[in-house]
Amino acid sequence: MTRADKAKRFGDLHRKGNPLVLYNIWDAGSAKAVADAGAQALATGSWSVAAAQGFGDGQKIPLEALVATAKSIVAASDLPLSVDFEGAYSEDPEGAAANVGKLIDVGAIGINFEDQVVGGAGLYDVEAQSVRIRAIRALAESRGLPFFINARTDLFLKESDDAKHAGLVDEAIARGKAYAEAGASGFFVPWLADVHLIEKICAASSLPVNVMMKPGAPDIATLSKAGVGRISYGPFPYRAMIEWLKGQAAGVYTPA
């Protein structure tokens, strides 16, 4: 497939009630393993990619290293690749778009793009984030690519008390509508796990809604019935792999 074909295929896989399931990867080796297991598409997790190279999350891995990782994954698999790009390494809309262009250059066909201020406090206001999305959409269109912008709101991730998530739903819906108007392709609500709240957001969103499969989240069948269009696993595959590796190493190095 051409890059444009991959981008279109990736977008088509997002269907409300029949979600695309992404078991997040972090390098070329994990990409090949997940592809061989039957994945239809690939997606990195920012936490995992950074940790695999010895960095913390929050854009601490250098942009050049992240782009190189994306390039190696594209070379290792023909599946469409979406990159968790956090805040696109720039608060400036044009800077963010230029950085997305670097991912497009190496073959990525989509990103996660979050509305928290990376390295700062709180979230961008809706209009500021919408301007940033518009700039990225314009850049992608200038390349003739139906690039998938998975617009992420961090409202729920920033609120550790799940009991307060119901009070954030209306704001989340408003952000989702604004991001859709700005050119987003999907709407990501990480850390929201209440199926009734998820169902409400799915019903109100014109975009396919992405939910993270964190511990305690509803299963895939339940999320499908709620209208979810994409399910991702975030950092949890990497964390499970590392715990397995530690256990194996402990069996070697710990005296019997």
Domains of the chain, by residue range, sit at 3-253
Q: Is the pTM of this model over 0.95?
A: yes
Instruction: Identify the pLDDT of residue 256.
Output: 67
8 Å CB contact between 93 and 135? yes
Please tell me the predicted confidence (pLDDT) of residue 233.
Answer: 98
Flag residues of the chain having pLDDT under 50: none
Note the pLDDT tens digit of each residue in 194-243: 999 999 999 999 999 999 999 989 999 999 999 999 999 999 999 999 99
pLDDT score of 16? 95
CATH code of 3-253, in short, is 3.20.20.60
Provide the pLDDT for residue 1.
Answer: 85
In this predicted structure, what is the pLDDT of residue 254? 86
